[in-house]
Amino acid sequence: MDGILPVYKEAGMTSHDVVFKLRKILHMKKIGHAGTLDPSVDGVLPVALGKATKTIEFLQESGKIYTGEVTFGFATTTEDLDGEVVESQPLSRPFTTDEIAVAMQALTGDITQIPPMFSAVKVNGRRLYEYARAGETVERPERKATIYRFDRTSEPVFDETTGTQKFTFIAEVSKGTYIRTLAVDLGKQLGVPGVMSQLTRQKAGGYDLSQAHSLTDIAEMMTTNGNVDVWLQPLDSAVSQYPHVALTDEQWAKVKNGIGLPKTALIPVADKIVVTYQGDVKSVFEWRADRNQYRPYRTFSIE
In CATH, the architecture of 64-199 is 2-Layer Sandwich (3.30)
The pLDDT assigned to 16 comes to 92
> Of 231, 229, 242, which Cα lies nearest the Cα of 282?
242
Residue 100 has pLDDT above 90, yes or no: yes
The dotted CATH code for 242-299 is 2.30.130.10
Q: How confident is the model at residue 118 (pLDDT cuts 50, 70, 90)?
A: low
Looking at domain 3-62+205-237, does it have CATH number 3.30.2350.10? yes
Domain ranges of the chain: 3-62+205-237, 64-199, 242-299
| Rounded distance between C-alpha atoms, residue 132 and residue 117, angstroms | 6
Task: Indicate if the pLDDT at residue 1 is higher than 90.
Answer: no
Same topology, domains 3-62+205-237 and 64-199? Answer is yes
Asked whether residue 2 carries a pLDDT value surpassing 70, the answer given is: yes
pLDDT at 128 over 80: no
User: 268 preceded by cis ω (within 30°)?
Assistant: yes
Please give the Cα distance from 63 to 204 (Å, whole number).
7
- % of the chain beyond a pLDDT of 70: 96
Q: Just list the catalytic residues.
A: 38
pLDDT band, very low/low/confident/very high, at 196 (cuts 50, 70, 90): very high
Cα separation, 129 vs 140, whole angstroms: 11
Cross-strand bridge partners of residue 98: none
Q: Look at residues 68, 48, 178 and name the one whose alpha carbon lies nearest to residue 117.
A: 178
Q: Find, among 169, 172, 162, the residue nearest to 183 by Cα.
A: 169
pTM tops 0.85, yes or no: yes
CB burial readout 240-268, b (16+ within 10 A) else e: eebeebebeeebbeebbeeebbeeeebee
Residue 267 has pLDDT above 70, yes or no: no
Q: What is the pLDDT of residues 25-56, one digit of tens each?
A: 999 999 999 988 888 899 999 999 998 999 99
